[in-house]
Amino acid sequence: MRFQLTDEQRALRRGVRDLLSGRFDRDRMRACLRDAAVDRRLWRELGAAGVFGLRLDGMGLAEAALVFEEAGRALLPGPLVATHLAAGAVDGAAEGETVVAGCDGTLVDHQADADAVLWLDEGGARVLDPAQLVTVALRSVDPMTPLNRVTARTAEGRAVPDAARLRQEAVLLTAAQQCGSAGRTLESAVEYAGLRRQFGRAIGTFQAVKHLCADMLVRVEMARTAVYAAAVTGDPVETAAAKLLADEAAVRNSRDCLQIFGGMGFTWEADVHLHMKRAWLLSTRFAREGEIQDALARSLSAPGIW
Amino acid sequence: MDLTYTEEEEAFRARLRAWLAAVLPTLPPKPGPEDWPGRRAYDSTWQRMLHDAGYAGLHWPEDAGGRGATPTQHLIFLEETERAGAPYVGAHFVGLLHAGPTIAAEGTPAQRRRWLPPILRGDDVWCQGFSEPEAGSDLAALRTRAVLDGDTYVVTGSKTWTSHAEVADWCELLVRTDPRAPRHRGITWLAMPMSADGIKVRPLRTLAGSREFAEVFLDEVRVPVANRVGEENDGWRVTMVTLSFERGTAFAGEVIACQRTLREIAAMARRNGSWDEQALRRRIGRLAAEFSVLWRLIQWNVSAARGRTGVPGAGGSVFKLRYSQARQELYDTAAAVLGADALDAAQEWTADRLSSLSYTIAAGTSQIQKNIVAERILGLPKGP
């Protein structure tokens, strides 16, 4: 047993972080607030870097989780999980030539930009043409993620095998994104608490602020441990637990970060609201709090999970 | 990242399991909670059995009388002994988890030879004289004085929250040897024989009704200089080695025990109908996630400690913060499942609910742990 990142995994994480800070810096991220359409050039760059196809190239779920953690940290928009899961099943997905939107039966994101839709629910996995979904547009709370509510499906689409596994991986990779976001809002909060001065001292000297930051770190450590363990074991119960703790870490850390930023945190200019809104969105996707808790309770006395 | 065990580790587990299955039925009956001499004898019998089978001080270095096992083997040991329902360290907690590791890390060869073998054999019981009425979270405010008189320290003061004081042979004692030095620099670590003249022990009753700890009054107690571990006035640093041990793997067995209790709570909820309450069921589901991830966090911390001296760092504070909270929530949930039956103090879960209240206080309150985490891990500036 050696439950620590390997040197290769550390290098992968560093590589993805460098890539994203170069190709998706803050200016480019803020530009998505004016135009939320998927940036095709960036999508191909992500494809070339292996974000969607790395598991076709011999890497595992643990490596994918590290990549998606970095994506969540950088607030990278777009149907990342669906395109990653469609690699191998939809032409061009692995290379980033094709944008595959995700649909959990209720909502679909980026429908207008997508070339295909990966439908994932209890009934199975299928690939559809975006035009085969009848939807109503929402004014999405996450300004970088256009959302449509599904009212009907005009075709069955093409069934994709291994639906249960795909759904579990969707849960895990979404949890990994939440984990990255929770880590990022913690860093921002700590940085701001060290710089912002009131009453003649950095606000980070006050225990009330320190304890908020300590709580944030505990949530990140728990969520990250849960995500990594689930990625290594592939266990459905651990995957559900990881989503529960990662959702909580992302949502609550963004709130605590906002609180530490004070009035600045309530502005459009600060990035923390973007993390909070993305966390709200991802916490509803593929598996949500109540159903996870029900499933985990059942798992105590019966094998299996869903 | 690898969560599988090697063949060698699995072989170790299998040998340990077979041994536990053979010896646990031979243990004498467990004494009552108020029978301290009986508890000491029981705990010592178990420690002696571990020692004779080669499992005492498993992860201690070999030059300290240990077996030099890897942190992973130690974790397997903690997991398997808990799963088999083996006794806890009990009265040997301080010797095996505080005083022993401190002596192993900081003692002279002669001190190691003198004190470590009886700890590992289960012959000597140690207690801890750290906290004082005016020095709790602020341990460095301790005032118990030690004045040098020839080759002896003369110690006067009082200690509190001292577990097992009534049956201990030795006390790991923190004293102030230089009242003029900055407060962290005037403290010394002494091994005080509990048989010395001038020691008075007054048991304290916990809110659970039991006598788990005591006040210890010291009136000109004479402790030989040879009993000092580390240099004079270097006791704070010596102590920090000890304290960090407490937050490492000390709770590994308990996490396994909590998982078992949670399954029992779920089974009880199904029997008495409270399972039909969605909110209660979801509390149980949430705790399942907590304890399963806390176990993974222990594995993470143990893996991180590999290659270092084996002294867990501030990562233990993160674990302790979450674990102590989860354990209290476990018994609050048990009470919700039991309903009116939870008001029966004879109920095991009610007794455990009461003792669990110490978890966010003992060995560094949660508030102090958060300060440690914020300052040492996150690097936030020290407070006023």
Give the count of Cβ contacts less than 8 A between chain A and B. Answer: 161
pLDDT at B338 over 60: yes
Q: Architecture of A7-161 per CATH?
A: Orthogonal Bundle (1.10)
Least confident residue range of A10-14, A242-246, B211-215 = B211-215
Instruction: Kindly list the residues from chain A whose CB atom is less than 8 angstroms away from the CB atom of residue B282.
Output: 290, 293-294, 297
A214 and B381 in contact by Cβ < 8 A? no
pLDDT digits (tens, 9 = 90+) for B30-50: 998 889 999 999 999 999 999
List chain A residues with CB under 8 Å of B297.
221-222, 225
pLDDT tens digit string along B128-169? 999 999 999 999 999 999 999 999 999 999 999 999 999 999
Grouping H, G, I as helix, E, B as strand and the rest as coil, residue A149 is strand
- Summarize pLDDT for B225-272 with one digit per residue, the tens: 999 999 999 999 998 876 665 456 778 999 999 999 999 999 999 999
Mutation for A interface: B292, B320, B337, most A CBs within 10 A: B292
For A214, the closest of B284, B304, B370 (CB atoms) is: B370
* A221 contacts A250 by C-beta, under 8 angstroms: no
What pLDDT sits at residue B310? 45
Q: Rounded to whole angstroms, how far apart are CA atoms A31 and A15?
A: 24
Count of CB atoms situated within 10 Å of the CB of B68: 13
Interchain CB distance below 8 Å, B292 and A293: no
The whole-number pLDDT of residue B363 equals: 84
Q: What is the mean pLDDT of residues B353-380?
A: 94
pLDDT of residue B244: 60
Q: What is the pLDDT of residue B313?
A: 56
CA-nearest of B103, B24, B76 to B252 is: B76
Count CA atoms within 13 Å of residue A274 on its CB side: 21
- What DSSP designation does A292 have? H
Tokens of B354: 């009461």
Interatomic CA distance for residues A76 and A51, integer angstroms = 12
How many other C-beta atoms are found inside a 10 Å radius of the C-beta of residue B278? 12
Percent of chain B exceeding pLDDT 70 equals 96
H or E stretch at B156: strand B152-163
List the domain boundaries for chain A: 7-161, 164-299
CB B220 within 8 A of CB B198: yes
Judge whether residue B64 has pLDDT over 60: yes
Whole-angstrom distance, CA of residue B194 vs CA of residue B226? 16
pLDDT band at residue A135 using 50, 70 and 90 as cut-offs: very high
Pick the CATH number of A164-299 from 1.10.1040.10, 1.10.1380.10, 3.40.50.1100, 1.20.140.10: 1.20.140.10
Please, is B252 exposed, middle or buried when counting C-beta atoms within 10 Å of its C-beta (0-12, 13-18, 19+)? buried
Which residue ranges make up each domain of chain B? Answer: 7-88, 126-233, 247-377
* Class of the domain covering B247-377: mainly alpha
Residue A305 has pLDDT above 90, yes or no: no
Q: Which long-range contacts (CB under 8 A, 24 or more apart) does A17-20 make?
A: A17/A70, A17/A73, A17/A74, A19/A49, A20/A70, A20/A71, A20/A73, A20/A74, A20/A76
- Rounded to a whole number of angstroms, the distance from the CA of A270 to the nearest CA of chain B is 21
* Mean pLDDT of the region B111-139: 96
Q: Which CATH architecture has domain B7-88?
A: Orthogonal Bundle (1.10)
Q: Which of A199-203, A228-232, B308-312, B319-323 has the lowest mean pLDDT?
A: B308-312
Closest-CA distance of chain A to residue B275, Å: 10
Nearest in space to A230 (alpha carbons), one of A297, A174, A272: A174
Query: What is the spatial distance between Cα A92 and Cα A108, in angstroms, rounded to a whole number?
Result: 20
Distance from CA of A105 to the nearest CA of B (A): 24
Average pLDDT across chain B, whole number:
93
Question: What per-residue confidence (pLDDT) applies to B231?
Answer: 97
State the pLDDT confidence band at A304, using cuts at 50, 70 and 90. Answer: low
Confidence tier at A129 by pLDDT (50, 70, 90): very high
What pTM was estimated for this model as a whole? Answer: 0.95
Residue A2, φ and ψ in degrees, nearest 5 = -145, 90
Distance of CA A107 to the CA centre of its chain: 16
pLDDT in tens, B188-231: 999 999 999 999 999 999 999 888 899 999 999 999 999 999 99
Q: Pairing between strand A147-153 and A107-109?
A: antiparallel
Please report the pLDDT score of residue A302 as a whole number: 76
Whether B2 sits inside 8 A of A299 (CB atoms) is: no
Residue B319 has pLDDT above 80, yes or no: yes
CB contact under 8 A, B378 and A217: yes
Residue with tokens 């995500």: A227
Which pair of tokens denotes residue A192? 């701001």
Q: CB distance B281–A1 less than 8 Å?
A: no
Superfamily of domain B126-233: Butyryl-CoA Dehydrogenase, subunit A, domain 2 (2.40.110.10)
- Enumerate helices (H) and strands (E) in chain A, giving the number of each: 10, 9
